[in-house]
Amino acid sequence: MILSKDSSLYHWNIDKALAPLLLLAGLACVAILLLIVLFLSREAWPVLANGGWRAFVADNGWYPLEGLFGLLPMLAASLAVMLGAIVLAGPVGLGCAIFLQFYAPQAVRKSFRLLLSLLAGMPSVVLGLWGLTVLVPLIAQWQPPGASLLAAILVLALMIVPTMALAGAAALSSVPADLISGAAALGMGARSRILYVAVPAARRGMLSGALLSMARALGETMVLLMVAGNVVQYPHGLLEPVRALTANIALEMAYATDLHRAGLFASGLLLTLLVLVLAWLAARSLRHD
């Protein structure tokens, strides 16, 4: 920012009005966030007040119409899908990042980047549609019912792979070139140079990319709603149908009233909290670089 005296060429100085006006726009953003927090808490209050949140952990099952609000099975399902997707997308994303940075010929690199951004911009409802009409029947042929933890993990992995790959490539590109040429001068081959020098040097950027992908997977609704099967139960096996927290909100908001509605808003708050912790960890891992 440049601090300059008000211009003396104009009688009416528009600059005096400008800063407060722009600040107002900035403050509006803070106000929106406060409104979000306020209204989520207000709607969730009937459940949160008087220690009602304990029901989330203590109640045996999610039967909101009978006043049972045990959401641990859905929380477990959300976490299982997230972990499965990152375990699958992590190595592939790392491979793609190394490919972009070290292996792809110039022409291929450009089109592969384009392909990744196309995949990243693919609407989740479209990926969900594909999962529902192509992937789920395929799995059902092998092991019914098809709509399952596995289907959700596969589609979500496809969804977060571009984030992993692009964040990884950005981290690898910021590794100092002398570090890698130094390793080459020591006689290390391409594989060792990449695996033992470049990747460790870029680990913080990659970790941050992975955490952001996990946050995205945890907050995703449509894919889970469409391919995971929506049965409320602890995830016992890969081929069992499960219902994630996000999908539960989308499924039940239409008819939820009173305490049930408050329960859904409370689960929304919990979800936001989890996603924010992941995003905070991601930002922290970058800052310590």
Partner 1 sequence: MTERLFTWTIWLSAALVAAALMWVIGDLFSLGAAHLSLDFLLSAPRDAGRSGGIGPILVATVLIIGVTLTVALPLGLMAAVWLAEFTVRGDALGNAIRLSLDVMAGVPSIVYGLFGNAFFSIYLGMGFSILSGGLTLACMVLPVFIRTSEMGLAAVSDAWRQGASALGMTRSAAIWHILLPAASPAIGAGIMLGIGRATAETAALIFTSGYVDRMPESLLDSGRSLSVHIYDLSMNVTGGDTAAHASALVLIALIIVFNLLAQWFTDRWLHRRQLA
Contacts to partner 1 from residues 167-186, by CB under 8 A: none
| Contact status: 45 vs partner 1 (CB under 8 A) | no
| Contact status: 189 vs partner 1 (CB under 8 A) | yes
One of 75, 85, 225, 239 touching partner 1 (CB under 8 A): 225
| Contact status: 87 vs partner 1 (CB under 8 A) | no
One of 205, 249, 260, 263 touching partner 1 (CB under 8 A): 249
| Contact status: 7 vs partner 1 (CB under 8 A) | yes
One of 11, 191, 236, 287 touching partner 1 (CB under 8 A): 191
Q: How far is the CB of 274 from partner 1 (least distance, A)?
A: 9
47 neighbors 55 (Cβ within 8 angstroms): yes
Q: How far is the CB of 60 from partner 1 (least distance, A)?
A: 25
Q: How far is the CB of 203 from partner 1 (least distance, A)?
A: 18
Q: How far is the CB of 176 from partner 1 (least distance, A)?
A: 22
Q: Closer to partner 1 at the Cβ: 80 or 215?
A: 215
At position 237, the amino acid (one-letter code) is G
**The dihedral of CA 100, 102, 106, 108: what is its sign?**
negative
Q: Closer to partner 1 at the Cβ: 65 or 115?
A: 115
Distance CA 133, CA 148 (A): 13
One of 116, 167, 175, 210 touching partner 1 (CB under 8 A): 116
**Which of these segments, 55-63, 159-167, 168-176, 200-208, binds partner 1 (CB under 8 A)?**
159-167
Q: Closer to partner 1 at the Cβ: 165 or 239?
A: 165
| Contact status: 165 vs partner 1 (CB under 8 A) | yes
